[in-house]
Structure 1
């Protein structure tokens, strides 16, 4: 005959069991997104509730949760664990000197994940039921986890494909890049020209920025995680009908990205000019330099301004003839070797060998070897910033006039003579004149720093100041010039050539010669 005490105890146990089932439902709701943390928390809670050890193994026998007890379970269960995982048994129990071990298959398809629990004594009815219910809850959680893994795998594969397309563009392989991009979206790169935009967000939030860029561009641009800088996103925007709004009537991708920046106070944007797809490397360099300027702008946006650049002010025929003669030693190379060499050199002049290698998808040793080979063929000391500046200009000019050949024009003028003409001198005077309002004589610091091959310590010794003072002067010059000087690249090279145009820096032959004498004095 049941007593009131017995009825009360049964009621208490029923309520306790109901509370445990409710807790399992809480785990089920929390783990709908496939979060591994929920699996581990559920197994830890189950072990504490049962007063024993609990482990969860995956389809391939790998420990997913309760890993501390995994080895012990394998030793105790042995062949029984493999039978449950393989589907020959749905559940099994084993008794040994440690107590009782119960195994339950999770899910309907083999091979099964297995939930294993060990207690010092036998399982009572409620403990066995709780283990079975837990297995039932884990089944959809593990399906959600697998779905999330598939999603991440697909996302990773897509990201790798996008990066591969961008690296092909950077290497000048336009046709192959267009064919590969068709796997992302048909017609994605079906355009003759494009602009490159680089966005930056600090604080390890690049994935959020990437998704925002993809949404803003509506699938009409190639969006890539920068391989060199983990705070940057690169967007290649094909130019169709002058960047007009898309078929859906939305804003042009470039305009949409600018609006995105306006709503995010910690995001910066640098945009390059329109270039043929074969000159994506140059477009990327422009965007990277514009990004450096954007950091000084209140609206955090900067665009490359082609009309203020040196190359557009030089006499076209004379400058293209000079560039063709300067690069003539590379013409002897077969196309399959020349194209990657030029792509690598162009990027190697903008970035360090390590970062250039990441962007191109090759090893740093490959970048250094190609740079060394180009230097040997051209007779240029590319360790000298003046040589790098001259070669950077030659590559840009040659890219804008690919049909020019040394035999098509009279012997070219020297680089010094090109820079000494009226347009370049006026441009250089205006550019360096921006330093005048600062009473620290920034132009003198800049001149000495370049003469010392951009060595801060050497410049400080010649100026008789602390290296920190030189660095402060350089930061001030960057702000006034609107150009990035450190760590170098196209902006620095233009400043070097501006100094040369005004005779602040000498480009002639010597230890730091820019090109071999035959091409300089032709």
Structure 2
């Protein structure tokens, strides 16, 4: 046996006991075997710890279990608290019994040997029983603490999801009166930290306040990506700047860490800030300091002609109206997250996610593995969200919830849209200007190969293998150029959907690359929703 820092345990009897208690107090889940073994060595008797139903929880190897039936009446009195200790004999075996702990039913420490214990030995047994009770209490307290931390995490995730849905009022209601300070902020930034999965709880708990929040911040283990820690930080004069500095220090201390920071946004625009932080994190991974802020650009949906873009979006999304709300939400999330992530967010299985996506594909007449079809669908959803107060021409909502009497309506007959139906209106040239601004970092002649690779990658449905084949290069080369493109464009192209979608829009409206019309992805396309 060796200590916590690789040193052997102390030689003295009391020192050894204190060492064992300290070691197991730090790890209450490790049990009390070490203390029981210590008592066995000191007294030369066999020892057992008997729990509920007279079940032996642990014992020394030579403990005579056959004596327990004869001890049943005494064990019952000790377990119910009618006695604190007892001494008896079962045949030639001398037995000492000690009730353990204050909670009923009590555990019972049973010592069995050939000789009766002396007064000093009986006192040692009694004190050891108290120590075992304390270790059990520490284990119970540790379990309660871990349970509390997990419940606090779930509440923080729920608040984050409400903010992602753009509903700070709902987030306030969910706190049942104990409103976190962050919900009083006018504007926030999202800091997205990439770290080791096991470090997220340590970081979160280090800055947690007694209410389970983080003052004017909110730290959440990402429910989709195990290596992401999401940090919402208030952007006002009342918010302490320490947290942002702490996150940067963590990145500076470990090369495995990276940090992406969004622009400031109103609380109801948390989803926008989070998406910006994801893009910034992808850029941070390719920069020397591994910290990056979001390179802002006006969202495309704000630049499209309002009436024409709404008419186009409602027409494209019309087939979704007959589908269950969960199907529509699953489809929306699958445009940005892998299927396993969608399943985690919605609390359903991956097979159920696949079933919902097949239903949407049948209704829309689209293959959702096609990045250009997915880009068009994403833009249509963004347009309707931006102008959600504007009803479509027929006066109906873009996506209707099915009747409770018919929770699983039949799949409607697919109406395959033409390529032109997937192309949003270009307007008066503002979309083309947006595309030129987006692609501007690639205009340098030194980046021509990166630009050509991106164009071919989009034409190949974001399939790195097919892209490499068409370019006559390796997948490693394609991946390296994509990482360069992420750094130049300030967008995540490999992990999130929106960066690829922006690239599709830019090539479409610039007129120099693939259009938003449908393409035919290979069955093994890398970018399945």
Shorter-normalised TM range: 0.7 to 0.9
Aligned 8 A contact 2:370 2:519 in 1: no
Following superposition, the deviation at residue 225 of structure 1 comes to 1.7
Following superposition, the deviation at residue 202 of structure 1 comes to 1.8
Q: Secondary structure at the match of 2:446?
A: coil
- 2:237 maps to which residue? 245
Q: Secondary structure at the match of 1:165?
A: helix
Following superposition, the deviation at residue 355 of structure 1 comes to 0.9
Aligned 8 A contact 1:457 1:467 in 2: yes
- The two structures, once aligned, show a CA RMSD in angstroms of 3.9
Alpha-carbon separation, structure 1, partners of 2:67 and 2:148: 33
Say yes or no: does 1:422 pair with 2:432: yes
Following superposition, the deviation at residue 88 of structure 1 comes to 2.7
Matches within 5 A, 1:52-63: 52-57=45-50
Distance 1:128 1:443, change over 3 A: same
- 1:42 maps to which residue? 35
Say yes or no: does 1:291 pair with 2:288: no
Please give the per-residue CA displacement for 1:170-219, whole angstroms capped at 9, x wherever unaligned: 45665443211246536653567655432222262111121245369842
Please give the per-residue CA displacement for 1:93-122, whole angstroms capped at 9, x wherever unaligned: 454478444321123342212223333554
- 1:477 maps to which residue? 485
Following superposition, the deviation at residue 491 of structure 1 comes to 1.0
- 1:399 maps to which residue? 385
Following superposition, the deviation at residue 40 of structure 1 comes to 3.2
**Alignment: residue pair count:** 478
Aligned 8 A contact 1:40 1:64 in 2: no
Q: Taking structure 1 as the reference length, what is the TM-score of the superposition?
A: 0.77
Provide structure 1 residue ranges, at least 5 long, that are not aligned to the other structure.
1-17, 513-522
- 1:367 maps to which residue? 353
Alpha-carbon separation, structure 2, partners of 1:122 and 1:172: 73
Alpha-carbon separation, structure 2, partners of 1:292 and 1:352: 17
Following superposition, the deviation at residue 156 of structure 1 comes to 2.3
Following superposition, the deviation at residue 73 of structure 1 comes to 7.6
Distance 1:85 1:171, change over 3 A: farther
Distance 1:71 1:496, change over 3 A: farther
- 1:269 maps to which residue? 259
Matches within 5 A, 1:137-148: 137-148=131-142
Aligned 8 A contact 1:194 1:276 in 2: yes
Aligned 8 A contact 1:34 1:146 in 2: no
Q: 1:225 aligns with which of 205, 211, 221?
A: 221
Higher helix content, 1 or 2: 1
Say yes or no: does 1:201 pair with 2:195: yes
Alpha-carbon separation, structure 2, partners of 1:284 and 1:413: 27
Aligned 8 A contact 1:178 1:188 in 2: no
Q: Secondary structure at the match of 2:225?
A: coil
Distance 1:89 1:481, change over 3 A: same
- 1:491 maps to which residue? 499
Q: Secondary structure at the match of 2:208?
A: helix
Q: Secondary structure at the match of 1:447?
A: helix
Which stretch shifts more, 350-359 or 420-429? 420-429
Say yes or no: does 1:134 pair with 2:98: no
Aligned 8 A contact 2:224 2:345 in 1: yes
- 1:153 maps to which residue? 147
Q: 1:452 aligns with which of 456, 460, 466?
A: 460
- 1:356 maps to which residue? 342
Distance 1:466 1:186, change over 3 A: closer
Q: Taking structure 2 as the reference length, what is the TM-score of the superposition?
A: 0.76
Following superposition, the deviation at residue 430 of structure 1 comes to 0.6
Aligned 8 A contact 2:304 2:430 in 1: no
- 1:7 maps to which residue? none
Aligned 8 A contact 2:36 2:47 in 1: yes
Matches within 5 A, 1:2-401: 20-21=13-14, 23-25=16-18, 27=20, 35-37=28-30, 39-57=32-50, 66=59, 72=65, 75=68, 77-96=71-90, 99-119=93-113, 121-170=115-164, 175-182=169-176, 184-185=178-179, 189=183, 194-202=188-196, 204-214=198-208, 218-237=214-233, 243-246=235-238, 251=240, 255-264=241-250, 265=252, 266=254, 267-273=257-263, 280-307=270-297, 309-315=299-305, 318-331=308-321, 337-338=324-325, 340-401=326-387
Distance 1:112 1:496, change over 3 A: same
Aligned 8 A contact 1:349 1:392 in 2: yes
Provide structure 2 residue ranges, at least 5 long, that are not aligned to the other structure.
1-10, 396-419, 522-529
Following superposition, the deviation at residue 259 of structure 1 comes to 0.8
Following superposition, the deviation at residue 63 of structure 1 comes to 6.4
Aligned 8 A contact 1:310 1:427 in 2: no
Please give the per-residue CA displacement for 1:11-56, whole angstroms capped at 9, x wherever unaligned: xxxxxxx954554455556666673447332222222323343333
Say yes or no: does 1:461 pair with 2:457: no
Q: Secondary structure at the match of 2:154?
A: helix
Following superposition, the deviation at residue 385 of structure 1 comes to 0.8
